[in-house]
Amino acid sequence: MKVECSLRETTEFGSILLSWYPNEKRLGRYSGSYWAGVPKKRYPVLARADGDFDSYLDEGLSLEEVAWGCINFLNTPPPRKKYARRAPKPLYGELDLVRVEYKKDDDGKPHLLLVMTTEKHKNKYFWGEGLDL
């Protein structure tokens, strides 16, 4: 099952330092902490996902099923370009779910706080780089 979602853009230090690279935004950040259950050669990534999650939760799906559907959607590679030699790879690497939380903004818009793992040590869509612990 795939749940259509997108990762929310964020600045490097979020709301702590607003003037630090204010125009450059990425879709998440690598975690500098150790997470239990994360195997070696996998790097934790923290991100927020936007989407219409209330309709799936109202159908009776659990929060983890909705989060896995979102991650399945993010793991799909972009369509192949005409005359391309190789098949495209997923933009963020192969994502796996570690933890999920359901939150609402001040205006009532739902989003998911995701802790995911990827096999990519450095990715241009995420702040920082994965740590080998």
Average predicted confidence (pLDDT) for the chain: 87
Residue 120 lies in a domain: yes
Identify the CA nearest to 101 among candidates 114, 116, 84, 89.
114
At 49, the pLDDT band (50, 70, 90 cuts) reads very high
Question: Which structural domain, as residue segments, surrounds residue 19?
Answer: 5-24+41-124
- Region 4-20: what's the mean pLDDT? 77
**DSSP labels, 76-122:** SPPPPPTT-SSPPPPTT-S-EEEEEEEEE-TTS-EEEEEEEEES-S-
Residue 29 lies in a domain: no
- Region 120-131: what's the mean pLDDT? 88
Residue 30 lies in a domain: no
* Domains of the chain: total: 1
The rounded Cα 127 to chain-centroid distance in angstroms is 12
